[in-house]
Structure 1
Amino acid sequence: MRPDRLNSYFASLTTLKGVGPKIGQAFSRLLRGDVLQPSRRIDLLLHMPVAVIDRSLQPSLAEAPDGFIVTVRLTIDKHLPPPRNNKRVPYRVLAHDETGEITLTYFHANGGYLERQMPVGSVRFVSGRLERFNGVPQITHPDHVVDEDDFASMPLIEPVYPLTAGLSGKVVHKTVQACLEEMPPLPEWQETALLDREHWPAFHEALDRIHNPIGLSDLDLLSPARRRIAYDECLASQLALSLVRSNVKKAKGLARQWDGKLKDALIDALPFTLTGSQQQAIAEIEADLALPERMLRLVQGDVGSGKTMVALMAAADVIESGAQAAMMAPTDLLARQHYQSVRRLCETVGIRVAVMTGKDSAAVKRQILQALEKGDIDFLIGTHALFQQSVVFADLGLAIVDEQHRFGVQQRLMLSDKGVATDLLVMTATPIPRTLVLTHYGDMDVSLLTEKPAGRKPIETRTMSLDRLGELVSRLAAQLEKGAKCYWVCPLVEESELLDATAAEERHESLKAVFGHRVELIHGRMSAEEKKSAMDHFKDGDAQILVATTVIEVGVDVPEATIMVIEHAERFGLAQLHQLRGRVGRGDKASSCILLFQGPLGSVAKERLNMMRETEDGFRIAEADLRLRGEGDVLGTKQSGMPGFRVTDAEAHKDLMEMARKEARLIVEMDPGLQGKRGEPLRDLLYLFGRDEAILLLKAG
């Protein structure tokens, strides 16, 4: 598959001297997030340093400034090991230069090793932070101790990398250098004119400059070396998306024909009127469906803007044209919610709708699959279960993917490959800043839903300190007496479902002591049946408080719920707070959201909570979120930095993303199979940045 010239880039780090199985596992954890995924040299080369240590200050001991990192030339005078069996006394090495004396201090040291490293009478260059105790200079655990020969090659500007348990900066730096030495230069994939205009170095040189910086400016996000690598990454991403797009478009679409009666019947059955932007989005979708090309459209709408209705109208048109529609949601809970929200409408107008998730019994699945293949189901709603090979449609005309950022490009394609000329509609309730729309949906046309359905009242948002919890509970009691329903969301304690569940269970117990059987609990570790039972009791039974972890973030729809309490709101990202708040205010009653926080608040947390009080505009919130916490979280992934991106920064490199998008479209127009002179190097680029999916398409297409 991969050309041989890339072999050394993809070789495991354990093939390098000094990287044994244990260190290899630590690298895997750092670079791939999983000890079972072997880390490769390219992963380390794209692991960017975040700061530098400057060792260039080389004063005499008399002039050395207190508290600074210095590099000094010393003569070793004497070793003072600690008294036997007294671990608390450090091992000390006395040394001097022409202007004064110094003590090098080591705790829990291996004396034999230090004696070999610094024989008495030898000259050594020592680098570390110098501090004075009673006027005498001292360096505790020097970072470097080298002889004259090694000093000639010691880097005086040293990069600092993000680390993980079991890895020191020294090991990472040494391994990076070994990777750089064994990296053969590759044919250039960027245009010479671009490199000249931007003053960008070659790929190999750029990596060398980033990992061996001459000064702090080399690590700047806007330095020529960093921008070069970021542009490579942007181009790989946009080129992959463009190839997917051209592949989908190339697979001939169907110009669908329908007369709109089914959609009109649905609109008549609605208890409300569609908003202007819903009508606009439906018109854009219908224009796509009528073309002999496959549709690739993203419907982006804020919480509660009515995306599900837009999708249902599109499904009605496709069903009327004689084909089937499928809708895929990221969770079992969400798939069943969608089913509940459209079932009555579908039955009213004669659309045969069903729901299928991985949690269904074998017998239920078998029944649904038979009906689907025979064409007795018009509209199937489900989870990842829809990807399975056993799922066969009579004629899948429209695939709808909800909460798209949780599914990769590959999964989108797998679903649309279930039919001939299947049109694809993708929906997200995460308002995404333009930069990120380009990053993740460079291959799609976009429809925006900017209005809330008529009759929705604004949500009053307030902040409250956790030490006023008792006051909140008594105010809540008064509201429950009037029949109100309330969500109470507990925070992610950390990335652990077990601990999240514990936090929720404890709050559930304490509220139950006050409100008895009116309190229900739902969290990620419960079975689908338990979740459904809790949800039903809250939605249709006499439960009035639902204590939950963030499993309710997307798609849960209980119009009677008018109060949202978010505990430890300072721990949540803005986009997540906004999503959670959107679970209330879905009916015609006034709703409120209480953000409980634990003081004192940092400046970012304070700004976040203020923004929530100020606005309900998801797009303003998304832009602020991007500014406050890095774009990883805007799309729901936890690490900062763009999901799937290692070098590119959304804010600093947004011009590069726009450039790369234009360039990628041009490449695919001129050379759709990447067969030309530049095609081979561009394939290297796709491999290096992990966009191999696109190469599979070239081979298949």
Structure 2
Amino acid sequence: MRGRPEILFPLFAQLEGLAGVGPKSAQHFAQMGVEKPRDLIFTLPHSGISRTPHDSVQGASPGEVVTVEVEITAHHPPRSRGRPYRVQAQDALTSFQIVFFHGKSDYLQRILPVGSRRVLSGKVEMFDGIVQMPHPDHIVAPDESETIPPYEPVYPLTAGITQKLIARATQSALDRLPDLPEWIDPALKARENWPDWAAALRAAHSPADSHDLAATAPGRQRLAYDEFFAHQLTLALARARQRKSAAHPTTGDGHLRDRVLAALPYRPTGAQSRAMTEITQDMARPQRMNRLLQGDVGAGKTLVAFMALLVAAEAGGQGVMMAPTEILARQHLQALRPLAESAGVVLELLTGRDKGREREAKLAALARGDIQILVGTHAVFQKDVHFHDLRLAIIDEQHRFGVAQRMELSAKGQGAHVLVMTATPIPRSLSLAQYGDMDISVLDEKPPGRQPVKTALVSEGRMDEVIDHLRRAIAEGRQAYWVCPLVEESEKLDLTAAEERFKRLRAALGEGRVGLVHGQMPPAEKDAAMARFNAGETSVLVATTVIEVGVDVPNATIMVIERAEYFGLAQLHQLRGRVGRGAGASTCLLMYQPPLSETARRRLEILRATEDGFRIAEEDLAMRGAGDVIGTAQSGLPRFRIADLERQAALMAVAQSDARKLLHDDPALESDRGKAARVLLWLQEQDKAFSYITVG
């Protein structure tokens, strides 16, 4: 199929052909992201107003919408400028006023002549003990009363667009709905009792009551499923294409891995062993691995990743592990060094700071194959970096790398396998939306010996007590992090906050005992401060959130987070994960400034109640919504018009398995259902899917 099918043309035409839409209102619609009839039919009403007829306004609560038949008894034009125009009306039981601000006398005399009968529908208010209906939404003659819908849908609006206009334009767009072939699996459609596509849209735009507006209404569910299905079909096509890309089948004899396992003081958890098996099996295939390794704070991703790198080394090839920042790359190097020593493999670091001869020597060793495992930042992407035989690329903290960079990195090795890692537990619905093109391994157990972290809430007024607590801990040889808040996105203020705290703690605890790291420091200074803390030369590290991910100092057992109410749940959970890594009992103190808002209190209480990152992530999703949890800017999350990722997570899972099954049975989408699915992809503007469809 070359371009958009003709059957969809009416939905992709100009808005201006619709009833009531001229050039000006088309511009206003564009402000809402509505540029063609297709966008309009997918803009569903968010609420509704009941307009069932009443006998009288008597007994109505202020603000209630009443539809009532009246006789017009008198007009009271304003006596002075700026006063409202009042019209007296009599219903079956009582008399009340219809009020118009800036009312034009001749116009009102014409539509509400004295002695005529009219049906009015609008909000009832009380003013000085008198019942009023200001600016009714509907004024019609009794014989036209059926033009007032018994339940009127309410649409989202923008400046220049009224409810009447959007309702009229939408009706006009619905009149153009083409008769589309069915793309949903017939068994699923029957089981869920979903209507056909056009019937679902008509039902969604003409609700009979509030139940029809709920996400659970069959028509709305079906339309949400269509969005999820088109999205998952696109991801499944990308995955199928990725799987067609050849890779070196990479298998090792296990001799290096056995050395590491023998040297470990504990046995891997069940989740770690399962993930290692999944990765090893993927690497043995002739198609490129595309797997996400998702683990909670401290679930032991590093070991799993290193075992995968060793498979590459056992096979005579090379592996690379990439981190988004220099600090993280150095942390990985430190964590992997003892493992590399026990295995007897050559491990090196490459960052943007390597210059001149030293860099040339590293690059030469890499190209010869002398370096078996490389750890680096995105400096690894540079043109002059060549591997002898790259078999595996591991990308840490995936959400900071886009899909394009994933592809670019795996292109470095002719067919290197790709493993992506994230320490951010992501609720299942979001991981399906974001990583639906990948296979997922989840580490959901803590390795033995990880201590639980005791979490307490402390108000800012008790700062001196907290400093005393630190003084005692330091005397016992323990170490602490003190995280300063990011104030209102202003780096200058952040800096001042961190520097002030640094000065105060240094004065209280002693000159050489306190270190400082923040985002504005030159990299070398940052590393030096981290190294001093690592070596135990400083006891307290004052930091902005640069230590959020991957920092590992086992002797650090106290985490103080100042103004904790400013941070998101996931971020607090990551920060807390920096302690509890050694044998000592650890504490996390969440300092807040009272009074706390309801949401902030709930966030901090959830954190105090559980250390389960997946449960925290689900709560975070329920509280903040999908875009915020991952940070919409770099989330790669699709924007759905109808579907709701938080509340319809189960549908997303069905859509994924359905999409994968359809492609398995019909890879080129040539069957009747496959062709219908192509129409859906065009309808949902998933045009990029067509570049993934491979023939044969």
The TM tier, using the shorter chain, reads 0.7 to 0.9
Which residue is equivalent to 1:431?
425
State the shift of 1:521 in Å: 5.5
Q: What is the total number of aligned residue pairs between the two structures?
A: 680
Question: Out of 415, 438, 447, which is 2:409 matched to?
Answer: 415
Residues 104-163 of structure 1, C-alpha deviations (whole Å, 9 max, x = no match):
254xx5x56x86577574477654321112331124465566788997545553444566
2:50 paired with 1:54:
yes
1:226 equivalent in structure 2: 220
Q: Please list every run of 5 or more consecutive structure 1 residues that lacks an aligned counterpart in the other structure.
A: 32-38
Aligned partner letter, 1:580:
L
2:87 corresponds to which residue? 94
How far apart are residue 70 of structure 1 and its match? 2.2
* Change over 3 Å in CA distance of 1:121–1:187 after alignment to 2: same
1: distance between equivalents of 2:608 and 2:642? 34
Tell me if 1:596 matches 2:591: yes
Q: Distance in 2 between matches of 1:646 and 1:339?
A: 44
Q: Which residue of 1 aligns with 2:22?
A: 17
User: Cα deviation per residue 1:37-80 (whole Å; 9 max; x = unaligned)?
Assistant: xx665555445544323333544344644331223456495464
Cα offset, 1:668, TM superposition: 1.1
| Counterpart in the other structure of 1:609 | 604
TM-score (norm 2): 0.81
1:602 offset after TM fit, Å? 6.1
The one-letter amino acid paired with 1:101 is F
Tell me the CA shift for residue 380 of structure 1: 4.2
CA RMSD between the two structures: 4.4
Q: Give the 5 Å matches for 1:461-540.
A: 461-490=455-484, 497-498=489-490, 502=493, 505-506=496-497, 508-510=499-501, 512-516=503-507, 532=527, 535-536=530-531, 538-539=533-534
Contact kept? 2:215, 2:221, Cα under 8 Å? yes
Alignment of 1:210-225 (within 5 A): 210-225=204-219
Q: Does structure 2 retain, via aligned residues, the 8 Å contact 1:356–1:365?
A: no
Instruction: Give SS of 2:660's match.
Output: helix
Cα distance, 1:204–1:420 mapped onto 2, change above 3 Å: farther
Q: Are 1:26 and 1:166, in contact at CA under 8 Å, matched by a contact in 2?
A: no
Contact 1:27–1:167 (CA under 8 A) maintained in structure 2: no
Structure 1 letter corresponding to 2:493: T
Aligned-residue offset at 1:254: 3.1
The letter for the 2-side match of 1:201 is: P
Pair 240,410 (structure 1): closer, same or farther in 2 beyond 3 Å: farther
State, as a whole percentage, how many aligned pairs show the same letter: 45
- Report the counterpart of residue 36 of structure 1 in structure 2: none
Give me the whole-angstrom Cα distance separating, in 2, the residues matched to 1:392 and 1:292. Answer: 22
- 1:461 Cα deviation (Å)? 0.9
Residue 578 of structure 2 is aligned to residue 583 of structure 1: yes
What amino acid maps onto 1:338 in structure 2? H
- Say which SS state the counterpart of residue 497 (structure 1) adopts: coil
2:584 is paired with a residue of what secondary structure? coil
Read off the aligned partner of 1:23 and give its amino acid letter.
Answer: H
Q: What is the deviation of 1:260?
A: 3.2
For 2:535 and 2:159, the matched residues in 1 are separated by: 49
Matching residue's letter, 2:557? T
- Distance 1:18-1:535 versus aligned 2 partners, 3 A rule: farther
- Letter of the 1:612 partner, please give it: L
Q: Which residue identity is paired with 2:64?
A: F
Partner of 1:258: 252
Residue 323 of structure 2 corresponds to 329
Counterpart residue number, 2:660: 665
Residue 542 to residue 670, structure 1, CA distance change in 2 (3 Å): same
Q: How far does residue 212 in structure 1 lie from its aligned partner after superposition?
A: 3.2
Unmatched 5+ residue regions in structure 2? Answer: none
- d(CA) in 2 for partners of 1:691, 1:532: 45
* TM-score, normalisation: structure 1: 0.81
- Which deviates more from structure 2 when the two are superposed, residues 636-645 or residues 50-59? 636-645
Instruction: Please state how far the C-alpha of 1:208 moved relative to its aligned partner.
Output: 3.1
Closer, same or farther: CA 640–353 of 1 in aligned 2, 3 Å: closer
Instruction: Provide the rounded CA distance (Å) in 2 between the counterparts of 1:668 and 1:157.
Output: 42
| Structure 2 counterpart of 1:96, one-letter code | A
Look up the equivalent residue of 2:489 and give its one-letter code. E
Q: Following TM superposition, by how much is the alpha carbon of 1:671 offset from its aligned partner in structure 2, in angstroms?
A: 0.8
What SS is found at the alignment partner of 2:393?
strand
2:382 and 2:167 map into 1 onto residues whose CA distance is: 44
- What is the distance in 2 between the residues matched to 1:579 and 1:613? 14
Letter of the aligned partner of 2:4 in structure 1?
Answer: P
Partners of 1:325 and 1:638 lie apart in 2 by 30
Cα pair distance change 1:238/1:121, threshold 3 Å: closer
1:94 match: secondary structure: strand
Q: Does the 8 Å contact 1:297/1:446 carry over to 2?
A: yes
Larger deviation, residues 17-26 vs 89-98: 17-26
Match for residue 65 of structure 2 among 69, 90, 95: 69
In structure 2, what is the Cα distance between the partners aligned to 1:618 and 1:661? 24
* Equivalent AA in structure 2 for residue 476 of structure 1: L
Q: Deviations over 1:530-581 (max 9, x none)?
A: 7556645654585554454544332233333322223444454443332221
Matches of 1:171 and 1:384, distance apart in 2 = 52
Cα drift, residue 20 of structure 1: 5.8
